[in-house]
Structure 1
């Protein structure tokens, strides 16, 4: 709706030829009056926007949730059959380099077609230059994984297999992985974050323990979706479209959203990894012995409904 009362008359325009200032007032090419806050997605047009176009810009935020609508930032479909590159179809050019331990294979019998096979060694990974998204803001990450059960059969030791991670200088800022404790034949899928880019940093993860996890066969194709709600400092994990055991205060006016609280986000600027992650010493380890497919990253918080629908749309049908 147009409201003329919101318009102001200005009849003396003039042509400016200097710099554009963002976050400050420019006077004679010198900044002053700095902004105390955050600025994002600055865009300038050389024309008048229609009211409909302005409404579309505003719609980038979901009015029902207050979250930014998810925008695809990277998409590795793993449709290659040869070579050492995994293409990114998002349009942002995040081509991943596949190391020697990663090979292309077909899992047609399980209904997935072409996929990336990782053999669990130090060269079994794919990496892309990062960061892919702002680790301090809202983001969503998803991947299909199918672990090799033989690599988990030795119960005398613990098993940790990283599917996706975003590295910093020493630690991973966040990642999706599988944990199986020593002495156990059952493990759990995890979405976790470290509190700092240091070897002494702690790890916060969801689910917090196996008692609150949805136990699935890791040898089956599984859709893992991790969500970080930066506005409310919440971690969420979905396994096959189902939200995992979380915690929160839903009985008061200070609703935490039922996610695991994480209020130490930090921006990682290292590589985005598929099939490996950094341990507490800063070294890469936790190599995945797994098939991996359809690794994607979005800015924004994907809704429960959208995540569940993604699983329904993509669940493989074995032959």
Structure 2
């Protein structure tokens, strides 16, 4: 269609007779549809500041499309720009755009030469080839204004209120630091800042050209640098200002009770703070969570006598930042129970514990009447709880086993600071929701405990249960590397020994060609018919966190049926089974939901192989994390999509660890593996990915992480 509309247009009527339609002028451009670069049209104090000749744009409309829907009409935008020069003479530029469809935004790049620091005005109108719209400034409209600012702001000065120069004795991780930034320029609207590794952000002054404050919560110790650039109204950034400082370690708890006191004690000694007297329902010397530094814990019987208290506050002012955490193991989960709280008159300023609603238990942290919940308590299972109240943000968070759970929320704690309580919470005139179970390592901080510290507090170092290198066998058994329970070899199972280095086949024709072992000097060879190896009893507690690693090489690239690499049985079936499924060309982790005859096994995780499993074989690992209720199958140190599954109810198996066989659906042994097995390793606890990558190489992982 030609640009513009004719003065008289014709459209076909329903009767087939042409009907004349008078041309209507384009609509007046709306001020709300005008832009100076990306900034809205403004005048006076609302005018736009730009860093160069701007791009003006407007959306223009022709009303003819209201009468003829679906028909494209064309309009042209006519821009007018003017300003007063230093000699008092008005300067004016005009520009008409090519025709564009009605409703389109028509941009015009103002040519260079616009004077700096001068108020420039502009407006626009539309032309359809016959008629003009009113200017956008006419009637209820307004002129748009902008100023071209050609100077960047000056660098900002940084005043480190909490990190003075050369001071190493200031607070560190978990304690907010504040920096005041101020540029001498009077047109600064923001300060862009970043710290090494984050956070990154923008601080805005309360007034144009004013100073701003940057809050910083350090989450790790070490050298740190704050970089700041001032930003003016035109978007110019100043040169960078930098401030270097050092973050110390987070300060120690203000109150700390390990609760590892000798059996028969009547009070809990304090690592920090005041000793806590114990009610008669408290028994010291109870079991501690494995993999921690705790030697024992305290057991509370859930009665009115099961409590501990220092008879003094642990949190001096609940309105200020604090954190409270502990290792806990509930003896029941069907009622509300309190781990720790602090009195506030006839109520409590905060409480950490367990809530049971409609038969569904969950962990909870209540601050100032606001309750955060998350995670699933399990009877007899250890968990680490941590509640954090951040007074700087006014928000509370709950961590379970080092992971933030639930949704953080705004809270307003009461000002009253009464006695700190373990195992009960004050409500009305008395104490309620008494803890039944174990408590240990109770810590109270007067700072934020950052996520990395939450993970560290909840870590449980894995413990080696057995390492069978399968180098030798004597009297039908292959020893455990450190003198533990050996593996008993079943019929058809042998130990293959690699070459001893006494001769070299390529040089000595009489030297026998002996295949090398998978790892080290030997490996276990299984015939696929009746061969297996097994311990005398269970190795890993399948109801708690564990890690298993093994190296395997299949003798057949396509076995005729599934073959089992590792299993550990209950009374009627296997608690878990790692097997190779030839139809899927993948390793699978199979687990039944219950220990019953004929209970069907579910494939909970699977990882496919890219080759036939020959050559140097593959390193397989199984990791069950009872804290997160996740189980993962690793292939050659890697987990893939589909190799991790939820396992909320792992049950404890009573049978021995089996290498090379597992139970079949009828309850008999079967799925015998044909191939080679080496480096069987078992751990209580969860190995991190770094340690998992070390399994199967003939050495122990460093156990330097908890995953």
**TM-score normalised over the length of structure 2:** 0.33
Asked whether the equivalents of residues 590 and 601 of structure 2 are also in contact (C-alpha less than 8 Å), the reply is no
Q: Deviations over 1:84-109 (max 9, x none)?
A: 00111245x22221112101112454
Structure of greater relative contact order (alpha carbons < 8 Å, 6+ residues apart): 1
Q: Residue 240 of structure 1: CA displacement?
A: 1.0
In structure 2, the CA distance between the partners of 1:302 and 1:24, relative to structure 1 (3 Å rule), is closer
The answer for the alignment partner of 1:219 in structure 2 is 614
Asked whether the equivalents of residues 130 and 166 of structure 1 are also in contact (C-alpha less than 8 Å), the reply is no
The answer for the alignment partner of 2:588 in structure 1 is 190
Asked whether the equivalents of residues 75 and 296 of structure 1 are also in contact (C-alpha less than 8 Å), the reply is yes
In structure 2, distance between residues paired with 1:81 and 1:35: 45
Q: Residue 65 of structure 1: CA displacement?
A: 9.0
1:244 matched to 2:640: yes
The answer for the alignment partner of 1:119 in structure 2 is 527
Instruction: Select the structure that is richer in helix.
Output: 1
Q: Deviations over 1:63-116 (max 9, x none)?
A: 35944222111111101155300111245x222211121011124544532111
The answer for the alignment partner of 1:256 in structure 2 is none
In structure 2, the CA distance between the partners of 1:2 and 1:244, relative to structure 1 (3 Å rule), is closer
In structure 1, distance between residues paired with 2:577 and 2:482: 20
Q: Deviations over 1:6-33 (max 9, x none)?
A: 24299xxxxxxxx97778679xxxxx97
The answer for the alignment partner of 1:44 in structure 2 is none
Q: Compare CA radii of gyration and give the structure with the larger one.
A: 2
Q: Residue 276 of structure 1: CA displacement?
A: 0.6
In structure 2, the CA distance between the partners of 1:192 and 1:224, relative to structure 1 (3 Å rule), is same
In structure 2, distance between residues paired with 1:62 and 1:84: 48
1:6 matched to 2:6: no
- Identify which of 135, 141, 148 aligns with 2:555: 148
- Identify which of 586, 594, 604 aligns with 1:205: 604
In structure 1, distance between residues paired with 2:578 and 2:592: 12
In structure 2, distance between residues paired with 1:202 and 1:163: 16
Q: Residue 216 of structure 1: CA displacement?
A: 3.1
The answer for the alignment partner of 1:54 in structure 2 is none
In structure 1, distance between residues paired with 2:586 and 2:300: 52
Asked whether the equivalents of residues 171 and 278 of structure 1 are also in contact (C-alpha less than 8 Å), the reply is yes
**TM-score normalised over the length of structure 1:** 0.70
- Identify which of 221, 228, 231 aligns with 2:627: 231
Secondary structure, aligned partner of 2:692: helix
- Identify which of 152, 156, 165 aligns with 2:567: 165
In structure 2, distance between residues paired with 1:9 and 1:169: 46
In structure 2, the CA distance between the partners of 1:69 and 1:5, relative to structure 1 (3 Å rule), is closer
Aligned residues: 256
Deviates more, 1:264-273 or 1:213-222: 213-222
- Identify which of 352, 366, 380 aligns with 1:38: 380
Asked whether the equivalents of residues 131 and 166 of structure 1 are also in contact (C-alpha less than 8 Å), the reply is yes
- Identify which of 173, 179, 196 aligns with 2:581: 179
- Map of 1:277-296 to 2, 5 A cutoff? 277-296=662-681
Asked whether the equivalents of residues 568 and 657 of structure 2 are also in contact (C-alpha less than 8 Å), the reply is yes
Secondary structure, aligned partner of 1:140: strand
Asked whether the equivalents of residues 81 and 105 of structure 1 are also in contact (C-alpha less than 8 Å), the reply is no
In structure 2, distance between residues paired with 1:263 and 1:2: 33
- Identify which of 483, 493, 498 aligns with 1:102: 493
In structure 2, the CA distance between the partners of 1:228 and 1:216, relative to structure 1 (3 Å rule), is farther
In structure 2, distance between residues paired with 1:224 and 1:290: 14
Asked whether the equivalents of residues 605 and 632 of structure 2 are also in contact (C-alpha less than 8 Å), the reply is yes
Asked whether the equivalents of residues 143 and 292 of structure 1 are also in contact (C-alpha less than 8 Å), the reply is yes
* Structure 2: gaps of 5 or more residues: 1-251, 255-270, 278-283, 288-297, 307-329, 333-378, 383-452, 500-514, 700-707
The answer for the alignment partner of 1:86 in structure 2 is 478
Q: Residue 264 of structure 1: CA displacement?
A: 3.0
In structure 2, the CA distance between the partners of 1:310 and 1:290, relative to structure 1 (3 Å rule), is same
In structure 2, distance between residues paired with 1:295 and 1:307: 13
Secondary structure, aligned partner of 1:217: coil
Q: Deviations over 1:227-282 (max 9, x none)?
A: 111122212111111113237xxxxxxxxxxx211223111101211111001211
Instruction: Select the structure that is richer in strand.
Output: 2
Asked whether the equivalents of residues 204 and 262 of structure 1 are also in contact (C-alpha less than 8 Å), the reply is no
In structure 1, distance between residues paired with 2:462 and 2:454: 10
